[in-house]
Structure 1
């Protein structure tokens, strides 16, 4: 399926990673479930998708507060990351987005703007063999205010040296679309395969 783009003379493409470039949301959810089960923590699938784009640390902190738990942040993140790495080989690229990456590579710069850790993003892009196509990676820890705040996308535009209004964002999550809009950027919503 060819993903239609809005009209405009865009000077950079900014991509979310999970659910946008890589159909890795099912693997992420399985890793979350397995890691959180060890602490007796509930994480319904609807909430997981509603919180798509939030940094891992924010999710653990919110679940701790919501369920009155005291899960150790770093231990849960490390365990979830390890489980995700084991599941990653079963993830595939999202064809409509990969087509635009192939088509525009070398003509305009690309950035990934993700709520995931740098380790998870590089592993996902590496598994698809496209890590070298991205000029900039903006991951959890590279900004202070996560999506839906515009900061992550504005940071990527700054690092690429491209004005925000000349950037086109590819996103699958509501928080990401809100973030891009707040940054003054045009956005393309990538349909999630599970919604297809």
Structure 2
């Protein structure tokens, strides 16, 4: 399978690239800087400094079986990294005929924002990022691609276990976590099946 990973130099992106290669997929990692990842067998590295560069993004997306977005930022305040990136990705998918999209969002975005302590705390601490995810999700839902929006709680840098709960009704609370490695494992599994097409599953250890 041919998989392209946007946000490939971040924690979740790196795990997705590594596990995709280990599973025998041909992986293209989209990065902004040429020194972000080491070259290795089966890995294509696409340098795209700005996702608004339509031709560059089209070239990367064209011919892929699955697009995975692990875009994010550590910036504070109002941000639009996810919204802008996914808008560009969706445009390229439409132009090139690629159908399958898997995107990392967050629990407490869109319809999962509720009155729980978890949701209130997340929005209080990272309101700018959460609004970005809301906008991103609106774009995805309005598209005609075969999308899956993945909703993790707090992410940890721990080894892959393959033991986690995933589904649209999984309960998420203040102590809920998932490792980036297990999140990547789930996204790659979703890439090979249609169980969660047009759904937004939650995932937690």
Normalised to the residue count of structure 2, the TM-score between the two structures is: 0.33
Q: Which has the higher contact order (CA 8 A, sep 6+)?
A: 1
More helix by share: 1
More strand by share: 2
